[in-house]
Each structure stands twice: as structure tokens, then as C-alpha cells.
Amino acid sequence: MLIVADGTQFCGTANFNFQDSGLDVLLGSGYKWMLSGYGNGFMLIKDHVNEHLYQDRINHALPQEPFLKHKKLLTLCFEPGHLDTLAFGTLKQSILHLEQLGMDIIEKRLHTLSELAKKAFTERGLLTSEVAQRTIHSTIFNLKSDEALIKRMRDAHVLFSPRGAGLRISFHFYNTEQDLGKLLQIIDRA
């Protein structure tokens, strides 16, 4: 069994060591918490996964062109052609920025914001009972809403995403308690 995870909603929010994890493959998009814009992503693959990926291709000859000779089959599978070095560079700069800030600090900040937001949203009846009862929750919340709340949020230029019968909002390390307070003022307006 191989364990494959989508880290798009996680990477960039907490300290994480892929080699020490129980994951075999981690995929993610750079646009979300990694702060690196659209058009890039990443894939981490542990060495032992290669044998599973190569099973039906192991007997095929690899290309012998000089510019491809040094590449392994796995690299050829995931490099379909032209690559966007600007997107790669943006992801790299984002990683350096997050490292400079310190993942421990980012993780702690997000945990604090999540706790404050969860408490405030629970008090206002905006969370499902399952979410309200969780001891730990991410910084992504799906709030119960109606057309009036959606209009107030749009009028106040709050970024959110419609999700089912609710709206999704989230916080990142650059958000503050004051940002949460402003959001709560918008929510509390009758």
C-alpha cells in the first residue's frame, strides 16, 4: 500500500518533515498556503515508490538523446515538455520567505487565530456541531450563511468562497486578531 496525500491545504502552515512522515507521496499546489501564485505545484516522492511506478515500464529503453540521457524514467514521466522557470522561482522564493519567518512561528500564529476564530464562530452558531466540538481545527472555516451575510461580505470586500449552504473563509499568518475582529463586525451587523 502506498500512501499519497494532497498537501495543498497543509504545506506552508506547519513544520513538516516528509522523510520522517508515513507518506509515500505528497502532492501540492503552490498557490495556496505556500504563497507562490498560480501555475506551480510540487511532488515529493520517496525512493521506494519508484519500484511501484516502474513495474510495467521497466523493460522499455530510456531515451538516448544527449540532453535526456541523465534523466530517469520518473523524471521523464513528470516533465512533459516546457517548464515554467518563473513559477519554480516563485515557489522557491516563497519557501525561502516561509523559512525566514520560521515555520514554528507560523504554526503557532495559525493555531492561535484558529482557536480565536473557532470560539467566536461557535458562539455565533456559524459552525456545524461536528466542527464546533473539535478540539483542534484548521484555519479554514465553512460558515453557515444566508444571502444577507453573503451580501455584507461582498460589500466589505471580504474574500470568501461559496461552499454548499455556507461560505468558506480562511486565515493565514499575515492575518491578525484585528482582521478577525473586522470580520466579526461584518457578521454581527443585522
The predicted-structure confidence for 62-86, as pLDDT tens digits, reads as follows 778 888 778 777 777 777 667 778 8
Share above pLDDT 70 across residues of the chain, in percent, rounded to a whole number: 94
Same domain (yes/no): 8, 97: yes
Same domain (yes/no): 10, 97: yes
User: Which residues constitute the domain of residue 147?
Assistant: 103-188
Average pLDDT over residues 125-133: 94
Same domain (yes/no): 92, 112: no
Look at residues 50, 84, 101 and tell me which one is the last residue of a structural domain: 101
> In this structure, which amino acid lies at residue 86?
L
The number of distinct structural domains making up the chain is 2
- SS3 state of residue 141: strand
Predicted confidence (pLDDT) at residue 54 exceeds the cutoff of 80: no
Average pLDDT over residues 86-111: 93
Look at residues 45, 70, 101 and tell me which one is the last residue of a structural domain: 101
Cα→Cα distances 76→29, 63, 67, Å: 20, 9, 12
Mean pLDDT of the chain: 89
Q: Give the angle 81-85-90 at the CA atoms, nearest 5°.
A: 140
Same domain (yes/no): 39, 55: yes
pLDDT tens track for 157-171? 999 998 888 899 999
Q: Where are the beta strands (DSSP E) in 53-172?
A: 140-144, 161-163, 166-170
Residues with Cβ within 8 Å of 138's Cβ and at least 6 positions away in sequence, in order, are 9, 13, 114, 170
> In this structure, which amino acid lies at residue 135?
T
CA torsion, ordered 128, 132, 134, 137, to nearest 10 deg: 90
Share above pLDDT 90 across residues of the chain, in percent, rounded to a whole number: 63
pTM, whole model, 2 decimals?
0.81
How much is the pLDDT for 38?
81
